[in-house]
Amino acid sequence: MTSKDTNTPTGQAAEKPFGWRFTLPLLLGSTLNPINSSMIATGLVSIAADFHTGPGATATLVSVLYLCSAVMQPTMGKLSTLFGPRRIFLVGVFLLLVGGAIGAIAPSFGVLLISRALIGIGTSAGYPTAMALVRRRADRFDIGVPSRVLGNFSIAAQITVVVGLPIGGVLAGAFGWRALFLVNVPLALITLGFAFFGVTRDDPIPRRGLRGVIAAIDFPGIALFAASIVSLLVFLSSLTAPIWWLLPVVVVLLAGLILWERRAAQPLIDVRMLAKNAPLQRTYVRQMLVGLGTYTCLYGASQWLEESAHYSPFTVGLILLPLSGLSIVIARIASSRGWIRWPLVIGAVALILSGVVMLFVDSSSSVLILIGMTLLFGLTNGLSGFANQAALYIQAPGATIAVASGLYRTFSYIGAIFSSTLIGIAFGAAVTDAGFHRLAWVVLGIGAASLVLTAIDRRLPVTAARAA
């Protein structure tokens, strides 16, 4: 009996390798982070009123999840390589359940902050472990690049980002802000149930002894990575009033991280592999640029439509709705055909065209023109999301796919957080047409950088099938 037969559940050989029994819990798990990121926005005012805090304090409920996620995604990936991706996936969902329950009964703002940190840590396990489980299953069934499955992950993330706000609004409006935390309990239970019965068990954990386990986890590497990322994100988020002393701190911490990881026997970040893997480096930078460009467009346009063009939040939502629909359709088309290179080229061109349109619209522009502008945002989002994810899958060595996927999400968070600073700098004290036009030049620059980076990347495959 082969190892493939040993690890395959009874009757599994007759099933589709990526049937819904296997993929559904992974899709659910990977969407729990983005949906918690967006839902909380609808409850911040009520939370501030109940705990008598200001907007600055309640904003930490948003930032703590981003910071925990940026640090913990690669860390959860590392733990999954040591203890098994299914085990870490289940542990992450359980932490989400605990965090949601604590938040629902939190007696103070401090406890609520702990709840959000637990939710951030728990949901960080979803995506890197899901990618590791997909890779393990694809290798086991001798499948190349499962483009359609990767497309499903991209589409699920887009859907949850969009529906998070309306779902949060309904829950907070009907049951109060505590429902935004309590809803994680049934979501976690459902995900745990599906994963427990639908995902193949991990192999036994190798015996290492306590010292071996501590060395394998690489606590110094995790600490240096956490300090580097937190310092970088704080610096990037404060560029409207820069904390300049943080910049040399970031440089020193990153240098220390690289030096330590080069010497570590089992590093968190395999910097030697990454230094030799230029295609993977470019994929990370492209993903950061895509996140920076799309979030700058989306959040900048949302603020401008409300404050300068004087549309109601409901109308703004309707204007942005076609964006989501187009993103989903485009991602499905690209993933079904396994396209990689051309979606990235077209997505970068669409981002450049977005900037051009932004230059020429103003608060009196037709709604149809504004919808056309947002459709260009959706084109970039739908094409680039799948293509970069497929490129990562191809370029990252199989043994490091979990950590590589977590780091991929970290770069996305860097782009998303930096976008808020760019928007603040472009608009200044008030949201005006002139500020929106300044933002357009920023979007043009990001799109041009993304296009050049893609065009010069000769090792970027045209399709997933050709790469396989």
pLDDT digits (tens, 9 = 90+) for 415-448: 888 888 888 889 888 889 999 999 999 999 999 9
For residue 212, being part of any structural domain is answered with no
How does pLDDT run across 248-301, given as a tens digit for each residue? 999 999 999 999 999 998 999 999 999 999 999 999 999 999 989 988 888 888
The predicted pLDDT at position 215 comes to 86
Look at residue 16 in the predicted model and tell me its pLDDT.
79
* 337-347 average pLDDT score: 93
pLDDT at 6 over 50: no
- Rounded to an integer, the average pLDDT of 188-214 is 90
- The pLDDT, as a whole number, for residue 12 is 45
> 410 and 355 in one domain?
yes
pLDDT for the residue 51:
92
The residues that bridge with 339 in the sheet, in sequence order, are: 463
* 366 backbone φψ class: left, alpha, beta (φ>0; ψ -120 to 50): beta
* Number of domains into which the chain is organized: 3
Q: Do residue 286 and residue 249 come from a single domain?
A: no
The total of other beta-carbon atoms located within 10 Å of residue 465's CB is 14
Q: What is the mean pLDDT of the chain?
A: 88
Tell me the pLDDT band of 468, cut-offs 50, 70 and 90: low
Per the CB < 8 A criterion, the answer to whether 132 and 405 are in contact is yes
Are residue 237 and residue 281 in the same domain, yes or no?
Answer: no
> Residue 205: phi, psi to the nearest 5?
-75, 130
Instruction: State the Cα–Cα distance between residues 289 and 283, nearest whole angstrom.
Output: 10
Residue 39 has pLDDT above 90, yes or no: no
Q: Which structural domain range is residue 256 located in?
A: 219-263
Residue 317 and residue 173 share a domain: no
Confidence band, pLDDT 50/70/90 cuts, at residue 114:
very high
* Domain stop point among 149, 171, 201: 201
Could you tell me if residue 451 is inside a domain?
Answer: yes
Q: What is the mean pLDDT of residues 360-376?
A: 92
Residue 20 lies inside a defined structural domain of this protein: yes
* Residue 180: CATH number of its domain: 1.20.1250.20
Clarify whether residues 322 and 238 are in a common domain: no
Higher pLDDT, 132 or 12: 132
**Residue 142 belongs to some domain of the structure:** yes
Helix (H, G, I), strand (E, B) or coil at 45: helix
Q: How confident is the model at residue 24 (pLDDT cuts 50, 70, 90)?
A: very high
Which amino acid would we find at residue 443? V
The pTM score is: 0.88
Supply angle C-alpha 167, 380, 317, rounded to 5: 30
Query: Does residue 350 fall inside a structural domain?
Result: yes
Judge if 393 and 276 occupy the same domain. Answer: yes
Q: Is 97 within the bounds of a domain?
A: yes
Q: Please list the alpha-helical segments (H only) found in 361-432.
A: 367-395, 401-427
> Are residues 144 and 232 located together in one domain of the fold?
no
Residue pair 130/89 in contact (Cβ under 8 Å)? The answer is yes
pLDDT at res. 7: 43
Question: Same structural domain for residues 229 and 340?
Answer: no
CB distance 71 to 225 below 8 Å: yes
